[in-house]
Amino acid sequence: MPFERRVQVGSSSGLHARPAAAFVRAAAAHPHRITIGRPDGPAVVASSILSVLGLHVGYGEEVVLTAEDELAVGALDELSALLGQDLDRED
C-alpha cells in the first residue's frame, strides 16, 4: 500500500523554473524514492528536474506525491507543504 499526498501547486508560474528547482532539490535531499504526477497521469521521479519540468504542471493543478516506504511519510509532508506555497515569491 503506497503512501500518498495530494496538493495543489501554489506557485504562480506553475512547477517551472525556480519553483521546480526548489522542489527537486528538496526531494533529492531525502534518501527515499518519491514520485510525482497528476492524479490520472503517469508518475515521474521527484528528484529529476527534467522529468518534473516535462510534466508541465500549471498553477493550481493537483498533483500526487507517492512513496512506498513508511519512513518517507515525513518527506511527503514536507514536499507537499513546499508545493502548496508560492515559490516564485521566494528570493
Partner 1 sequence: MRELQGVAVSPGSVAAPVLVLRKRPALPPDVRTDADAASAVGDVERAIASVAAHLEAQAQEVSHDIAAVLQAQALIVGDPTLLDAIKRRIGDGSTRTDAVEDSFSEFREQLAAAGPYFADRIEDLDDLSYRIRASVLGVAMPSRVAPRSPRIIVADELAPADLVVLGPSVVGLVTQRGGATGHTAIVAKSLGIPAVVGCAGACELADDTVVLLDGGTGVVVAAPTREQVDEHLAADAASKARIGALAGPGRTADGTPVALLANLGGDHDVLAATDCEGVGLFRTEFLFLDRDDAPSFDEQVEVYSALLRSAAGRRVVFRTLDAGSDKPLGFVDVGHEPNPALGVRGYRIAAHYQELVDEQLRAVATAEQLAGATAAVMAPMVATVAEVRSFVAQARAHGLREVGVMAEVPALVLSADRVLAECDFLSIGTNDLAQYTFAADRQLDELAVLLDPWQPALLRLVSMAAEAAKRSGKSVSVCGEAASDPLLALVLAGVGVSSLSMAPVSIPAVRAALFELTMTGCQQAAQIALGAEEPAAARAGVRALLKIDG
Site residues (vs partner 1, CB under 8 A): 10, 12-14, 16-18, 21, 24-25, 44-45, 47-51, 53-54, 56, 58-60, 86, 88-89
- What is the Cα–Cα distance from 5 to 80, expressed in whole angstroms? 7
Residue 10, all three cell numbers? 501554489
Minimum Å distance from CB 26 to partner 1? 12
Minimum Å distance from CB 45 to partner 1? 5
Q: How far, in Å, are 18, 19, 65, 68, 73 from residue 91 at the CA level?
A: 10, 11, 25, 33, 28
Minimum Å distance from CB 59 to partner 1? 4
Q: Is 25 left (phi over 0), alpha (psi -120 to 50) or beta?
A: alpha
List the catalytic residues.
Answer: 16
Closer Cβ to partner 1, 6 or 25, answer by number: 25
